[in-house]
Homo-oligomer: A and B are copies of this chain.
């Protein structure tokens, strides 16, 4: 597997993209298009929030038909809680993009991100779609411009692509994503758009996307704690001309690994760019009864405000880690718990078999001063394991979120 420099949605064959400022935001890029030269199969995962934004409802229907050829995305306005007018606007966006690109509206996925409850400036959006379509290109630059245009409070663009050798040729998987307002525990909108030139049947694309999402995007958020607009969608256009993947053979496994590499990278980038984040935290749980229990434990630690503020303060407060394990809703024996914290500067053994260990405060300060921190927790119940990623919780988080709307 090869990671492509400056890779993105335009890295796989036959995909064009564009992104520019059309006037939804004051000055930053705010509209992106992704287009496949040929019809593609599509799969998607959407927010589980009871309240779903209009573009989510629209794109869900497109994904149900398993075929799409374009994606239109605006930032600066979520088109959520905008009533029946919002549904019309999402349909109009698909229609405008489709007409311009010679594609049926029901082949166009729509996504929006930004403030909730304010009607889209629809004239601006529709005119912007017309303009942006003219910029579509399959260049590296075009992919990066699309990645820029889907940002909200993100401080950097998130994009990557990997190339993988299958038995009958090479396929490429690329993606762009936007993170958060906030990643934990009430995820603000997370959008991820994946393109690939692999030939794969829609059921297997859907299965691969679902399984990969469970171990990537879902491990930076909490099931059920999703925003009104979250979506991960993938387009596979078959232009690599590999023998179509239609069973879970070795080609499928390689494709899955490529897809999962892209998704894991994008998920980690989202966390690294968490609002106000100063640290990147990785929580590895092992010894749980099963993987599902391990995921609950890992998420409980990574979403704890008290754990997050402790790491911001570079404080080896393992008691908060233990407390978060304890309220995860998973049974385990306190006397089996072990906790280790690690960074490039060394290892801190904090708890073994439920008993606190002595540690050197000076070493702890050195270790916790690093930006990347790993937390290992073991609960001695079985072979279940999981990894979750998160960031710390700083003054700036409060600052950014205290005045987002106005």
B331 touching A50 by the CB < 8 A rule?
Answer: yes
Q: A323: which of B116, B334, B404, B405 is its contact (CB, 8 Å)?
A: B116
Query: Which listed residue, B228, B304, B334, B398, touches A395 by the CB 8 Å rule?
Result: B398
Contact yes or no, B402 A327, CB < 8 A: no
> Which residues of A pack against B, CB within 8 Å?
48-52, 78, 80-83, 115-118, 181-182, 184-186, 188, 224-228, 304-306, 309-310, 312-313, 315-320, 322-332, 334, 337, 351, 354-356, 361, 393-395, 397-399, 401-406
Contacts known (A50-B325, A117-B356); A402 close to B315, Cβ less than 8 A: yes
Query: Inside 8 A of A317's CB, which chain B residues have their CB?
Result: 116, 404-405
Q: Is A394 in contact with B398, judged by CB distance below 8 angstroms?
A: yes
Across the two chains, which residue of chain B brings its CB closest to A329? B224
Does the CB pair A117–B318 fall under 8 Å?
yes
Known contacts: A81-B322, A117-B356, A403-B315. The answer to whether A50 contacts B327 by CB under 8 A is: yes
Q: A315-B402, A401-B305, A402-B315 are in contact. Are A227 and B116 (CB under 8 A)?
A: no
Question: Knowing A50-B326, A393-B398 touch, does A81 contact B404 (C-beta < 8 A)?
Answer: no
Q: A117-B318, A310-B404, A405-B315 are in contact. Are A327 and B186 (CB under 8 A)?
A: yes
How many chain copies does the complex carry?
2
Closest CB in chain B relative to A145 CB, distance in Å: 28
A356 closest partner in B (C-beta):
B117
Contact B403 A83 (CB under 8 A): no
B319 contacts A81, C-beta separation under 8 Å: yes
Not counting A186-B327, A312-B398, a sample of 5 additional A-B residue pairs whose C-beta atoms are within 8 angstroms of each other reads A50-B327, A82-B356, A185-B185, A306-B401, A394-B398
Name the contact of A228 in the complex, choosing from B326, B329, B401, B405 (C-beta under 8 A): B326
Q: Is A402 touching B310 in the complex (CB atoms < 8 A)? A: yes
CB of A186 within 8 A of CB of B323, answer yes
* Also in contact, A117 and B319, with CB within 8 A (given A313-B403, A325-B51): yes
